[in-house]
Amino acid sequence: MKNQSCSKFTHWTALVVGAAIAFPLSAQSWKDIDFSFNGTVRQDAAYRTTSLENPNNARGNPFNGVAVERRGGLPLLTGSQTVFVDESVRAVPTASNDFNLLLTRAEGSMVARMGHNLSLNVDVRGVYDPLVYQDWDPASIGAEMIGALQGKPRYFEYRVSGDDGSLQSRKTPYPLEWTGRDYMIDLPKAYIDLARGPLFIRAGQQQIAWGQSIFFRVLDVPNGLDLRRHLVLDSAFEEFADKRVPSLGIRAGYQAGAWDLDGFVQHFRPTIFPNPNTSYNVIPQQFTVHDLYGNVDKKLNYGFRASGPLGPVNLQVMAAHRYNPDGAFRWTASNVSTNLPINLPNILPVLPGVLPALNDVANTLIPGGVPATGGIIAQTPLEVESSGTSGVLSADEWFTYAGMVRLDGLEALNTLIREFPASQILGAREADDMEEARRLLDLFFQLSNGLRGHIAREYFREDVFGAGLSYVTQGRPGGWLDQVIINLEFQYTPERTFTALDLSTQFDKRSEWMTSLVMEHYHRFFNEFPATYLVFQWLHKSESDLFGRLLGGYSGDVNNTPRGKSGGYDAFVFAAQQPFPRRIWVLNAAVLWDPSGGLLVQPQVTWTPSGSWTVDLFYNHINGGLRGNRNGNALSTLEFAEELALRIGYQF
Amino acid sequence: MKLFRIRRYDRNYSRRAFLQSVMAGGAGAGVLMPLAHAISQDRELATVYPEELLSIDTYTQGRVSTGDEINADNVEHVKDLLEPAKYIQIREMGRRMRVVPTTTALERLMPIPYLEATLRNSGKARFDQGGNVVSEDGQPWIGGLPFPDAKDGLELFAGLTLSWGRHDVAQYAIKSYDLSAQGEVLYYYELLWVEMATVGRISLEPKPYLPAHIDKLRLQSVYFHAPNSVRGTNYLNIWPYDQNQFPELYGYLPQFKRVRQFPTSQRFEPLVPGSSLYLSDAWAAGDPLHTWGNYKVIWRGPMLAGVSGGWNHVHPNWEHETHGGPAGNTFWNTDVELVPEAIAVQAEPVAFPRAPVSRKVVWFDARTQLPLGMVSYDRRGDPYRTFDGAYALYETEGMSVPHGRNSYWSWGHVHAYDIQTRSMTRLEQVKTLGGGFSTAVDDPSVYDRFLTRSAMTRLGG
């Protein structure tokens, strides 16, 4: 019954919207309705300026074409001693893309107003990508994996598990969105506004944003982000304008004197990550994701906020009962029954020369691989992908990627073995240390010639509480301390569910604090130029980083399990906006500094030569290696995306 | 036999009177008798000003007559009646203006409720220790012009700052055109400007104060309706009554999808691309009274200005015709009349140490204390930008826009000209924009529709 709550809600929302439309239409003639239409066409391009390909994609894997020594062993028998030595080479040509992004987008907007108190607002957004990229084409190199998203990259399709649990079988489980490999059409807004005095109700497809912080989402909890188009790398001064996931809902606002009351009930929709092997993919493609959104796609989020003056400050308080849109990941059984191929590990120095021939003979004698192993592996989070192109091929690769995604490679292996006992039938045993783990991993990679990992993405309800204080300073006119807007925002979430560092099915639940300090100020440096808009922001999170990853997974690499990060996560933003006279030219600069060694610098120039045309040129410089371990800061994750971005827009 | 009419007061009499007034520091308006006295009696201006100040024919000794068009050929005859920039626009840029009779009935020059409040409350205003205008009991001002017989520039600016549009609530549907020096319309905006008095209310209950907002002067918002790139952008200014403080500024920017507070001390920033209009420019008094200072009356005299013909009733949406400039579209068609007495007041931006302007001069109509024009000067002291507009009683030829028992009075169009770049911003008040945003007056529902943060969210979409 609970799962029907959202469909009832959706029906009810539709009823409200329908009634709101029908009533005035019955009461008035069409000529009493004010219609207005306008639209925008925009070409977006992001030109790559480094040779770094996205390591999360098959064609950007740093192990492509690199000979890696594998030293397999049997920890149960020989501990960390090497028994089998060979060399693996990932036979995937690394791409050399010119563009990260090339999008043509069109947006149309329609507003129909029926008097002062009722309006219908609909936006339609269409995006087309000509796919000029050197794409991953697994069929052409013999790679075979399960999952629609693991094939040729699909840039806009969002797929989740079907009702029967079938992998990636359900496309776009969203109303008001239509997608294909190279296009998407959706309705960012389609709602009815009803107003009566201080009461305001918005019913329909909508986005909701809260809080004063820009980019740091301390109080901005209602909606997830749609990261399919340009990840989070659009103009910083646009924040998440093109990212917030719209959803059906009802929002009500009430102005009680100087206090603004705001609440919503909204269909839960998750953050959408880019698909495997697309330009901005952030989940290594060696993982196959079972998105279990279908289990919660009938759920609702609720939130309430009050803001108003309290003496010399403005106060806002909020609470939300929501599903965390980011979800959390865990190992899950692959249900892929592919036998281990008959690959004889190299056990004698004399064998390397004759090993391929021996393997061929063995495969001929026993076609279909090692009997019965497929059924066992299907009960583990592993999938045999023996082409050597899309799975993990070595312990080095395993630990390298574990560090990149801020997981603990050793414990992830042990948890896999512990929580999926079928793996022990194949001889897997928990490793005491990294060396033992390397032997075991290399052995299995030698035997399989490539294993993929299956993870499930689940969504958990949480209660989020927040508060914010806003204060405006008064100082000497024109001085640095005059008219500084200071905002302090807090978020507390008890028992938030995180992805465990070992990808355990038990997840990691812990309470998290989040704090941001925002200071904004206009300062005139020049008489001839408008004032410069300056922003300083500080973010502190007690448990996770900017992208919601637990800090315990920080600083792992190919040779080390993660050392973690103590003292919480901090990030700072410095941003400035300098309009030229008449605002035809605007220079922007935004710097996101992770003091643990990451830096994102985005200089931007915006040119508005006329009311119809707008040109934006900006550069994303990302450095994740300022100091310390590259995996010891959040921004190294995006290092591959250094680019020059150009947007040309025309509106009508 | 030809009869000559002997004029009792010739042109030099007026000049002497104005000069004496300026030298005396800007004493009250009126030539033959104090304007305020006349207003309190019969509201007719003929007793206040000599005939030569009430008729362009008389003033120019027939060189320019009512009904004539002032253009490059005859502008020299009225040069001393024009602001310098307007003179240059006519002489060099093809601007033309039609002369209409001087309006002598005050009730056609400002809203009648405001005029009545001015009469009712005359003599009750004073400055308190903080420099704010208060009524006899020390409470905020109760409506109308606080100093109808203004003695100096500060009193003139105080009245203008207290009430911009002279209505308790005004909602202006505006079309804005930004033109290049070549006359190309580069930017076009549709916006809705809403201002609501929280004190000094004269028409709407509760009056004279909104009890919950007695510490404020006004709520004012601007909503951008078109084009698509700025659609939904809206700002809300909450003006404290204390004119030593800056307003609070809240903004809804579509990219942020929420209302955020912005610093407000910098008021010389264009709000949208291409615009040369600043918050500071609103009604020539867009900043709190005491953020400017050194108010000084620097000139008095007659002036040609558009105080009555600003409504284009012929167009169903009140839109105005244009002419002049390189492409024939730089200037609004404008009716002007001889304003018998204008007062030029200079002020300096004392609270803006790096403002792009070093001073401004605003010409007030002495009869109504409404701004007729403004010129600002850059930091070098060179003329920078100039403004002029046209007002109107929206009532003519059997047509009218009702406002209670009366007809609507308001502004009709404005020129904002950048002298240094020769770019022009033209504004006009229209009946309606697309999407149902229309001009309205004294509609109390605007509070919930435009002047709260909840409303801002709704407008932003």
| Residue A76 phi, psi (nearest 5) | -60, -35
**What SS3 state is found at A300?**
strand
Q: Is B16 on the interface with A (CB under 8 A)?
A: no
Phi-psi region of B256 (alpha: psi -120 to 50; beta: other; left: phi over 0): alpha
Is the pLDDT reported for residue A598 higher than 70? yes
Band of pLDDT at residue B3, cut at 50, 70 and 90:
very low
Q: In 10 A of CB B261, how many CB atoms?
A: 19
Which residue in chain B is spatially nearest to A198 when comparing CA positions? B448
From chain A, the residues in CB contact with B352 under 8 A are 477-478, 524
One-letter amino acid for residue A554 of the chain: Y
Extended strands (E) in A364-460: 382-384, 451-458
Is the pLDDT reported for residue B4 higher than 60? no
The DSSP output letter for B380 is T
pLDDT digits (tens, 9 = 90+) for A228-241: 999 999 999 888 88
Is the pLDDT reported for residue B299 higher than 80? yes
pLDDT digits (tens, 9 = 90+) for B188-247: 999 999 999 999 999 999 999 999 999 999 999 999 998 888 889 999 999 999 999 999
In this prediction, residues B420-424 reach a mean pLDDT of 91
Q: What is the pLDDT of residue B434?
A: 75
From chain B, the residues in CB contact with A586 under 8 A are 273
In this prediction, residues B69-86 reach a mean pLDDT of 95
Nearest to A329 by CA among A458, A508, A160: A458
User: What burial class does residue B328 get, using C-beta atoms within 10 Å of its C-beta: 0-12 exposed, 13-18 middle, 19+ buried?
Assistant: exposed
- The widest CA-to-CA distance across chain A, in whole angstroms, is 92
Considering only residues 161 to 200 of chain B, which have any Cβ-Cβ distance to chain A shorter than 8 Å?
178, 185-189
Is the pLDDT reported for residue A26 higher than 80? no
Considering only residues 517 to 536 of chain A, which have any Cβ-Cβ distance to chain B shorter than 8 Å?
520-528, 530-531, 533
Q: What is the pLDDT of residue B44?
A: 67
Average pLDDT, chain B: 90
Is the pLDDT reported for residue A4 higher than 70? no
Q: What is the pLDDT of residue B332?
A: 98
| Residues A52 and A642: beta-carbon distance below 8 Å | yes
Q: What is the pLDDT of residue B6?
A: 47
Strands A287-291 and A300-310: unpaired
Facing residues of A186 across strands? A125, A177
Is the pLDDT reported for residue B444 higher than 50? yes
Band of pLDDT at residue B43, cut at 50, 70 and 90:
low
| Residues B266 and B246: beta-carbon distance below 8 Å | no
Nearest to A187 by CA among A165, A201, A170, A204: A204
Cα–Cα distances in angstroms (integers) from residue A51 to residues A96, A234, A284, B237, in the given order: 7, 21, 19, 50
Residues A262, A263, A266, A270, CA torsion sign: positive
| Residues A186 and A125: beta-carbon distance below 8 Å | yes
Nearest to A619 by CA among A592, A586, A596, A646: A646
Nearest to A542 by CA among A570, A521, A573, A572: A570
Is the pLDDT reported for residue A582 higher than 90? no
Q: What is the pLDDT of residue B158?
A: 97
* Chain-chain contact of A210 with B212 (C-beta, under 8 angstroms): no
In this prediction, residues B261-289 reach a mean pLDDT of 87
pLDDT digits (tens, 9 = 90+) for A466-492: 999 999 998 888 889 988 999 999 999
pLDDT digits (tens, 9 = 90+) for A187-213: 999 999 999 999 999 999 999 999 988
List Cβ neighbours of A105 (8 Å cut-off, separation of 6 or more). Answer: A41, A42, A43, A44, A125, A126, A127, A128
Cα–Cα distance between A379 and A362 in angstroms, integer? 26
* Chain-chain contact of A472 with B263 (C-beta, under 8 angstroms): yes
Which DSSP helix (H) or strand (E) runs through A23?
A: helix A4-27
Q: Which residue has the higher pLDDT, B270 or A506?
A: A506
Q: What is the pLDDT of residue B5?
A: 47
Give the whole-number percent of chain B exceeding pLDDT 90: 73
Q: DSSP alpha helices (H): ranges in A385-426? A: 395-404, 409-419, 422-425
From chain A, the residues in CB contact with B435 under 8 A are 34-36, 111, 113, 119
| Residues B442 and B171: beta-carbon distance below 8 Å | no
Strands B423-430 and B169-179: antiparallel
**If you write DSSP's letter for every residue of A457-488 in order, what string do you get?**
EE--EEEEEEEEEEEE---STTSTTTT-EEEE
Q: Is A258 on the interface with B (CB under 8 A)?
A: yes
- Both structure tokens of A39: 């639209």
Which DSSP helix (H) or strand (E) runs through A71?
A: strand A67-72
Q: In 10 A of CB A496, how many CB atoms?
A: 21
**If you write DSSP's letter for every residue of A80-148 in order, what string do you get?**
T---EEEEEEB--PPP--SEEEEEEEEEEEEEEEETTTEEEEEEEEEEE----S----GGGGT---SSG
* Chain-chain contact of B263 with A485 (C-beta, under 8 angstroms): yes
Cα–Cα distance between A422 and A375 in angstroms, integer? 9
Tell me the shortest Cα–Cα distance from A92 to chain B, in angstroms. 41
What's this model's pTM, rounded to 2 decimal places?
A: 0.89
Cα–Cα distance between B257 and B237 in angstroms, integer? 18
Residue of A30, A33, A36 to mutate, testing the B interface (most B Cβ within 10 Å of its Cβ)? A36
Considering only residues 411 to 450 of chain B, which have any Cβ-Cβ distance to chain A shorter than 8 Å?
421, 423, 434-436, 445, 448-449
Cα–Cα distance between B26 and A438 in angstroms, integer? 93
Q: What is the pLDDT of residue B461?
A: 78
pLDDT digits (tens, 9 = 90+) for B399-420: 999 999 999 999 999 999 999 9
Phi-psi region of B308 (alpha: psi -120 to 50; beta: other; left: phi over 0): alpha
Band of pLDDT at residue A2, cut at 50, 70 and 90:
very low
Q: Identify which of B225, B434, B461 has the shortest CB distance to residue A121.
A: B461
Cα–Cα distance between B458 and A470 in angstroms, integer? 22
Cα–Cα distance between A562 and A555 in angstroms, integer? 5
**What SS3 state is found at B78?**
helix
Q: Is B352 on the interface with A (CB under 8 A)?
A: yes
pLDDT digits (tens, 9 = 90+) for B112-170: 999 999 999 999 999 999 999 999 999 999 999 999 989 899 999 999 999 999 999 99
Alpha-carbon Rg of chain B, whole angstroms? 21
* Chain-chain contact of B453 with A244 (C-beta, under 8 angstroms): no
Q: Is B5 on the interface with A (CB under 8 A)?
A: no
Cα–Cα distance between A538 and A546 in angstroms, integer? 12
In this prediction, residues B301-306 reach a mean pLDDT of 95
* Chain-chain contact of B354 with A524 (C-beta, under 8 angstroms): yes
Lowest mean pLDDT among A453-467, A521-535, A592-606: A521-535
The residue assigned the tokens 């919503």 is A264
The residue assigned the tokens 């309009």 is A579
Extended strands (E) in B168-262: 169-179, 185-197, 216-226, 234-240, 248-253, 258-262
| Residues A573 and A588: beta-carbon distance below 8 Å | no
From chain A, the residues in CB contact with B187 under 8 A are 608, 610-611
- Both structure tokens of B243: 């004119």
Facing residues of A522 across strands? A533
Facing residues of B237 across strands? B220, B249
List Cβ neighbours of A316 (8 Å cut-off, separation of 6 or more). Answer: A219, A305, A306, A307, A308, A466, A467, A468, A470
Q: Is A238 on the interface with B (CB under 8 A)?
A: yes
* Chain-chain contact of B435 with A483 (C-beta, under 8 angstroms): no
From chain B, the residues in CB contact with A524 under 8 A are 266, 352-355
* Chain-chain contact of B227 with A237 (C-beta, under 8 angstroms): no
| Residue A360 phi, psi (nearest 5) | -60, -45
Burial code (b: 16+ CB inside 10 Å, e: under 16) for A106-135 equals ebbbbbbbbebbbbbbbbbbebbbeeebeb
Strands B334-348 and B97-99: parallel
From chain B, the residues in CB contact with A109 under 8 A are 228, 231
Q: What is the pLDDT of residue A56?
A: 97
Considering only residues 345 to 404 of chain A, which have any Cβ-Cβ distance to chain B shorter than 8 Å?
none
Give the whole-number percent of chain B exceeding pLDDT 70: 92
Average pLDDT, chain A: 91
Q: Is A648 on the interface with B (CB under 8 A)?
A: no
